[in-house]
Every structure is written in structure tokens, then in C-alpha cells.
Amino acid sequence: MSRRAVWLVVVALLAAGCFHRARLADVPNGNVITEDEIDASHSNTIYDVIAKLRPEYLRDRGPVALTGGARDVATVFLNSEEYGPIAGLRDFPASDIEQVRYFSGIDAVTKFGKWYGTGVIQLISRNH
């Protein structure tokens, strides 16, 4: 390798080290909506917050053939108790919720049980 090539490699490595990289703590978690995000959304219901900030949580993936035509949508939990279907999110004032967590199929099964393979939207109340 020529001196010039070595010099270019050294300069490239030094330059790469100068770029700012966001710390992991600075990167928002796509599976969590924080209290600050909820407040900044200026939405009335937690459904509106989710629809605005993380609409993919609400997505209906269509019928699941193995479950007799049941829909492939997440189940809502309030703190650690099952609350019901996504439509129930329209009943929660955004101001009552501290955090929203989304668990995809395998994570939901691991945390909540085998019946929740379509995912879970967990609401953490501000007064839990």
C-alpha cells in the first residue's frame, strides 16, 4: 500500500470519528410513546395520540385463517390488566395516560401469554 493510500485511510478514519452520533438514549423507542410525546400531541384521547404518532400500532393486518376469521389486531391492556379491543382507546383521555407501549406478537406472547400473538398496546396510567 502506498503512503498516499495509507494517509487517505488515516484521514478517513479520523474524519469518521468526528461526526456526532446520537447516543442510544437519545434515539426514540418506536415501541414507546412517552408522557412528553403524549402532552406535546395536544390530542384529547389516547387513540388520537397513537393515530398521530404511531399509527402502525392500530393497523389491522386482516383475518387470521387459523383463528376462525378473527382479526389480526392488537389487544389493549391498561397497566397489567386486559382492557379489550382497540376501539376502547377512544374512551381514554390522553391526560390520564403516562406511557403507551407496543408489544409485537412474539414479545406480547412472552410478556402477556399465548393468547396475545396479535400484539398488545399497553397503557400505563399516570396514577398507577
Domains along the sequence of the chain with CATH: 29-125 (2.170.130.10)
pLDDT tens-place string over residues 4-51: 655 555 555 455 454 444 343 444 578 999 999 999 999 999 999 999
Per DSSP, 63 falls in state B
Pick the more confident residue, 93 or 24: 93
Mean pLDDT of 105-126: 91
Q: How many angstroms separate the CA atoms of 119 and 103, rounded?
A: 5
pLDDT tens-place string over residues 22-33: 343 444 578 999
pTM of the model: 0.71
pLDDT over threshold 80, residue 108: yes
